[in-house]
Amino acid sequence: MLWVAIIGLVMTVLAVALAGRRVQFLYKLATVGPPAPERVEYARANAGEELKAQLVEVFGQKKLLKWTPSGVAHFFVMWAFFILLTVYIEAYGAIIQGAITGRPDFHIPIIGQWAVLGFLQDFIAVACLLGLVAFAVIRLKNSPKTLGRRSRFSGSHLGGAWLVLFMIFNIIWTLFLARGAAAANGNLPYSSGAFASLALGEVLPASGLLEEIALLLHIGFMLVFLVIVVNSKHLHIFTAPLNVLFSRRPDGLGAATEMRVDGKPVDFEDEDLDPERLGRGKIADTTWKGFLDFYSCTECGRCQSQCPAWNTDKPLSPKMLILDQRDHAFQVAPYLLAAANGVEHKDTDVLALLEKPLVGEDGVIHPDVLWSCTNCGACVEQCPVDIEHIDHILDMRRYQVMVESSFPSEAGVMVKNLENKGNPWGMSEMKRADWIEELDFEVEIVEDKMPEGTEYLFWVGCAGALEDRAKRTTKAVAELLHIAGVKFAVLGPMEACSGDPARRLGMEYLFNMLAQQNIETLNEAGVKKIVATCPHCFNTLANEYPQLGGTYEVVHHTQLLAKLVDEGLLTPVTPIEEKITYHDPCFLGRHNKVYSQPRDIMAKVPGVQAQEMHRHKDRGFCCGAGGARMWMEERIGKRINTERVDEALTTNPDTVSTACPFCMVMLGDAINEKKNSGEAKESLEVVDVAQLLIKSVKGAS
């Protein structure tokens, strides 16, 4: 056994040295960029929450199990890595003990002969084999050669995936060979429980040489696999837990990340601020958390399969957005690492790559990729390793907008309107209160302070005050609050855009200007509680204003109305005998997890037959308006709102309901096109949930 121990030791030292060198390279590369101290601070301050995330997402595989067949297969393969660590302890122990005593019958102290452990080892190994078969079937069934871009593996590095499956298969069959040979020689620590190993021991010959060769093969395949893992996409085995640990809670959605320079929030009044440092213009501007995203991508394509842009034939694939940056980072790594050490790199090929812009016609990321994103969050929601694709897109947009002044021309009109008039349409602020004149009761407008006894400030929003279809929702909500006896007031002309379109476009300076103006107004008025009808305003006020010192209790109108119905302050009585399908607004649903309240309201309205679309709740499909896309033309592929309405029409609805003014506009436009072509009935319309509720409530009076 001495020769086995020597060979095993040499193989281990070589493999660990190679893997360690690669890990050192990856660490140095990840830390060439700016720091991200807020990630560490949050993880440290919220240790309990982070522990829960590790248990639920990493060990419990929560996100993967949403995709049941592949999720179950991955669950067993992953747990095989954990449980079979005990087998490697036994294998190395057997080699060392065999070299010393001549008897490789080592067992782990205390638990090493426990039949339950032997059973778990064999069970998880068999389950792992079945998982490998499932993975192979899934990959063949979803092959890009057959499905093209409809395959979630389109664009993935397929050869590496098959190599890893082959290597895991080799690890498992050599495991059983080694354990079976040990059982045949009487060296297996278990007399029962290890059902597969003991069964193999019955048919294999009692041969010490076979056991020694099998042990070396098993350890050898494991060590080769280790080296492959740290040089491939399967690096996620080690980096995914770290990426989950340092990801934003609850899930990277809600607020957009603050723009930072050298780890600190940007101060636009700082005279020494270098404008070239705004956003991400080159790969070296990526923080170590961004590199963790690169390293953790499994290329599974779940993000791609859910992306509304990709599903409507646009060039954006969230997966390839990450992979293209990762591949570029590896290509220019020699220069980045040399520059970090103060050394000038002489490799002309690498230097040529450095001239390639991060975003551009000939860049790493094509502008059409960057501007196709609606910020819907489907990619972040589905990613099993918590990659934050939207953060990457926003950082690149910030550089393009504020440094390069390069963005779709239509968005420039929206920016000018926000700068000059405080709303995307460029209408006079005095028109913000016109909708009040159409009501038969008084709505108080804040002049200085919130009127005494007022509970909520009703944040009407630009669309709710100025867009005709959205004004119907505004009036319905105001009337419902009035009926329920909820005292509220509005800002009227003092209200400006929340800043969401500017921030999602990448114009962070304009967002800061609008947000600080609104925060000053709200604070001076003494506002504590806000109700908003627009999910974009709701998300910005609730999640992003605290970044700038504006902290309020913010609710969406569906949340407040559902509460008032439950409390009996609003009573829907008049039946609405219609089949209604509900569209989840992305910034209400995925970004803020408000799924139940709009549906609860509809469920309380007599006569309503609710019919879910195929893609709903956390898998809901975007209307196409988010990420400032509301103010940009959609010139590539199928229109996203048309795709969503096509899906709605499969339910044969009488009405499409939603809870967002942007969604109402986008879906309404697509439905009108369908009516003109005869594909939708003339009576079909899009309404807000509040409009359904007021129709039922008012009929009872």
Q: What is the DSSP string of 400-418?
A: HHHTS--S-HHHHHHHHHH
What digits encode the pLDDT tens for the residues 343-398?
776 777 777 787 788 999 999 999 999 999 999 999 999 999 999 999 999 999 99
In a domain, 144, yes or no: yes
The verdict on 376 and 461 lying in the same domain is no
* In the predicted structure, residue 659 carries a pLDDT above the cut 60: yes
| Position 42 in a domain | no
Q: Which of 312, 270, 354, 268 is nearest to 32 (CA)?
A: 354
Confidence (pLDDT) at 350: 74
Number of structural domains (the chain) is: 4
How far apart are the C-alpha atoms of 337 and 283, rounded to whole Å? 12
pLDDT band at 130 (very low <50, low <70, confident <90, very high): very high
Q: Are 465 and 495 spatial neighbours (Cβ–Cβ below 8 Å)?
A: yes
Q: Residue 36 domain-assigned? A: no
Query: Angle of helix 318-331 relative to helix 389-402, nearest 10 degrees?
Result: 70
Which H/E stretch holds residue 641?
A: helix 640-649
Question: Per the domain annotation, does 39 fall within a domain?
Answer: no
Asked whether residue 521 falls in the same domain as residue 655, the answer is no
Residue 161, both tokens: 């995936």
Range of weakest confidence among 47-56, 345-354, 583-592: 345-354
Q: Are 466 and 427 in contact, with CB atoms under 8 Å apart? A: yes
* Residue finishing a domain among 538, 560, 582: 560
Distance, CA of 279 to CA of 258 (rounded, Å):
10
Q: In percent, how much of the chain has pLDDT > 90? A: 86
Report residue 39 as tokens.
């990630």
Number of alpha carbons in the 13 Å side-chain half-sphere of residue 447: 4
Alpha carbon 414 to its chain's center: 27
Same domain, 121 and 186: yes
Question: How far apart are the C-alpha atoms of 588 and 536, rounded to whole Å?
Answer: 8
What pLDDT sits at residue 5?
86
- How high is the pLDDT of residue 543? 96
Q: Give tens-digit pLDDT for 68-110.
A: 889 999 999 999 999 999 999 999 988 888 888 888 888 899 8
| Domain assignment present for 576 | yes
User: Measured on CA atoms in the order 44, 48, 53, 55, is the torsion positive or negative?
Assistant: positive
If DSSP states are collapsed to H, E and C, what string results for 468-513? HHHHHHHHHHHHHHHHHCCCEEECHHHCCCCCHHHHHHCCHHHHHH
Distance between CA 207 and CA 222 in Å, rounded? 23
User: pLDDT digits over 217-270, tens only?
Assistant: 999 999 999 999 999 989 999 999 999 999 987 777 989 999 999 889 999 988
pLDDT value at 1 more than 70: no
Can the peptide bond before residue 334 be classed as cis, meaning omega within 30 degrees of 0? no
What's the pLDDT tens digit per position in 480-520?
999 999 999 999 999 999 999 999 999 999 999 999 999 99
**Residue 448's pLDDT is what?**
87
pTM of the model: 0.93
- The number of beta carbons lying within 10 Å of the beta carbon of residue 85 is 10
Residue 672 within any structural domain of the chain: yes
Instruction: Tell me, yes or no, whether 14 and 155 share the same domain.
Output: yes
Residues 194, 256 within the same domain = no
Asked if residue 68 is part of any domain, the answer here is yes
The domain boundary, picked from 189, 218, 244, lies at 244
Q: Are residues 128 and 193 in the same domain?
A: yes
Q: Residue 265: in which H helix or E strand, if any?
A: strand 264-265
- Of 342, 374, 406, which residue sits at a domain end? 406
Distance of CA 369 to the CA centre of its chain: 17
Q: CA-to-CA distance for 226 and 219, rounded, in angstroms?
A: 11
Residue 676 and residue 618 share a domain: yes
CA distance linking residue 689 with residue 308, whole number of Å = 24
Q: What is the mean pLDDT of residues 617-622?
A: 95
The candidate with the shortest Cα–Cα distance to 16, out of 242, 213, 230, 171, is 230
Residues with Cβ < 8 Å from 348, sequence gap 6 or more? none
pLDDT band, very low/low/confident/very high, at 66 (cuts 50, 70, 90): confident
pLDDT (tens digit per residue) in 429-470 = 999 999 999 999 999 999 989 999 999 999 999 999 999 999
CATH number of the domain at 554, please. Answer: 3.40.50.1860
H helical segments located in 84-194? 85-101, 115-141, 144-147, 158-184
Q: What pLDDT does residue 700 have? A: 45
pLDDT surpassing 50 at residue 701: no
The CATH number of residue 603's host domain is 3.40.50
Give the domain extent around 452: 418-560
The answer to whether residues 547 and 424 belong to one domain is yes
Residues 204 and 306 in one domain: no
The answer to whether residue 162 sits within a structural domain is yes
Same domain, 395 and 295: yes
Q: Is the pLDDT of residue 111 over 80?
A: yes
Closest to 688 (Cα-Cα) out of 518, 496, 498, 473: 473
Together in a domain, 84 and 214: yes
Asked if residue 571 and residue 550 are part of one domain, the reply reads no
The pLDDT of residue 398 is 97
